[in-house]
């Protein structure tokens, strides 16, 4: 009788242990947290938990989870998962939760304290457009001058660093009014081995076109200017998703009354920073295309103006060429 009782206790203990262990399996965690995120109206529920688990397991690609669905998280890994999922339930963007994000094939560190703007998928199309233009700017063999790029509002450094990774002769100079953004851009440039061709400075482009605390050499002129400036009208900021409104840098979002405040400043002042024939590539709100075209025509400094679509088929970029 005693032996039977001990055997029963052992089976009960083993069953409970197996159940407890299975609850920490990757497959179960994905199912459980996808449901919980959905119930709490967290966007991209399955994608969020998969990215969180990948980060904890040190995986570079979400697709790797398919071969690790039966893996059991250690107690430490499970604790980290609970901490991170709690942050996601509070609607912190998953990029901030895991502290990094991939952009154009490069892994960028992300920062939420203080916050730095998160690069979006459509901005990869800006890099593609700018990269094609840079190819036309590459000097002929034997030339002493390498092509140069100027970025206004560098954020995490994603655009400039992606361009540098594609063109080994290109040099990028970038500014941002957010000191945390400049610090993060410098860190990303070092981690990616691109710091020798990148320069990031804390500076603000004022409404009158003056860039304070930024003094490039008088003779320095750039071949291309790129920017993903704030373009959301001020009145629309409060209606953004909690992930954006609560956590992201409003300086990188608020484009003024109609969203074109900084865009207009860039267009009206860019010719003094650029060489003749240089290009400007800007990310915009599709509602602003006509207004931006009128601004460029009013300047009289541009020989070309075109609108390009993003990966979602939306008019998202304008390309201008200086006379």
| Maximum alpha-carbon separation in the chain | 99
Q: What is the CATH number of domain 106-322?
A: 3.40.50.150
Q: Give residue 69's pLDDT band: very low, low, confident or very high (50, 70, 90).
A: confident
Q: Where along the chain do its domains lie?
A: 2-90, 106-322
Q: What is the pLDDT of residues 186-205, one digit of tens each?
A: 999 999 999 999 999 999 99
Place 289 in a pLDDT band, splitting at 50, 70 and 90.
Answer: very high
Roughly what angle, to the nearest 10 degrees, separates helices 26-39 and 45-57?
Answer: 140
Q: What is the pLDDT of residues 212-227, one digit of tens each?
A: 766 655 557 999 999 9
CA of residue 60 relative to chain centroid, distance: 17
| Section 122-128 average pLDDT | 98
Q: What integer pLDDT is reported at residue 15 of this predicted model?
A: 43
- Supply 227's token pair: 């920017």
Query: What's CA 221's distance to the chain center, in Å?
Result: 27
* The three-state (H, E, C) secondary structure of 269-294, written as one string: HHHHCEEEEEEEEEECCHHHHHHHHH
User: Average pLDDT over the chain, rounded to whole?
Assistant: 90
Q: How far apart are the C-alpha atoms of 210 and 300, rounded to whole Å?
A: 20
- Output phi, psi for 275, to 5 deg: -80, 160
Tokens standing for 304?
């070309």
The predicted-structure confidence for 262-288, as pLDDT tens digits, reads as follows 999 999 999 999 999 999 999 999 999
Average pLDDT in the 228-253 region? 97
Higher pLDDT, 255 or 138: 255
Provide the percentage of residues in the chain whose pLDDT is more than 70.
89
From the list 48, 253, 224, the residue with the least C-alpha distance to 136 is 224
- Rounded to 10 deg, the angle between the 158-166 and 179-191 helix axes is 30
Looking up tokens 């002129």 gives: 221
How far apart (Å, rounded) are the C-alpha atoms in residues 144 and 81?
53
Going by C-alpha positions, the residue among 197, 199, 322 that lies closest to residue 272 is 322
Q: Which residue would you say has higher pLDDT here, 281 or 63?
A: 281
Does the pLDDT of residue 4 top 70, yes or no? no
pLDDT at 1: 56
pLDDT digits (tens, 9 = 90+) for 20-57: 467 899 999 999 999 999 999 999 999 999 999 999 99
Specify the pLDDT at position 28.
95
What's the pLDDT score for residue 67? 86
């Amino acid at each position: 009788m005693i032996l039977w009782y001990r055997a029963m206790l052992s089976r009960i203990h083993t069953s409970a242990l197996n159940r407890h262990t299975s609850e920490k399996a990757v497959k179960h965690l994905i199912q459980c947290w996808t449901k919980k995120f959905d119930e709490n109206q967290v966007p991209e529920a399955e994608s969020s938990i998969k990215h969180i688990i990948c980060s904890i397991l040190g995986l570079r690609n979400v697709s790797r989870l398919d071969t690790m669905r039966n893996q059991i998280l250690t107690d430490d890994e499970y604790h980290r998962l609970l901490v991170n999922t709690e942050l996601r339930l509070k609607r912190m963007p998953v990029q901030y939760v895991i502290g990094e994000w991939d952009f154009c094939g490069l892994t960028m560190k992300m920062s939420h304290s203080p916050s730095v703007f998160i690069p979006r998928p459509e901005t990869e199309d800006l890099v593609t457009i700018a990269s094609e233009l840079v190819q036309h700017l590459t000097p002929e063999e034997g030339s002493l001058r390498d092509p140069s790029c100027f970025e206004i509002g560098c954020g995490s450094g994603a655009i400039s660093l992606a361009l540098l990774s594609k063109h080994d002769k290109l040099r990028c100079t970038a500014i941002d009014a957010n000191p945390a953004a400049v610090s993060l851009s410098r860190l990303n440039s070092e981690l990616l081995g691109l710091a020798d061709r990148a320069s990031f400075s804390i500076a603000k482009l004022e409404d009158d076109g003056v860039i304070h605390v930024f003094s490039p050499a008088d003779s320095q002129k750039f071949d291309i200017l790129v920017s993903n400036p704030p373009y959301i009208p001020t009145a629309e900021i409060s209606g953004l998703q909690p992930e954006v409104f609560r956590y992201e840098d409003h300086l990188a979002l608020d484009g003024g009354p109609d969203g074109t405040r900084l865009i207009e400043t860039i267009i009206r002042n860019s010719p003094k920073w650029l060489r003749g024939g240089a290009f400007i590539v800007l990310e915009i709100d599709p509602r602003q295309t006509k207004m931006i075209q009128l601004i460029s025509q009013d300047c009289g400094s541009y020989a070309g103006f075109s609108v390009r679509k993003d990966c979602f088929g939306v008019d998202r970029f304008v390309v201008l060429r200086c006379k």
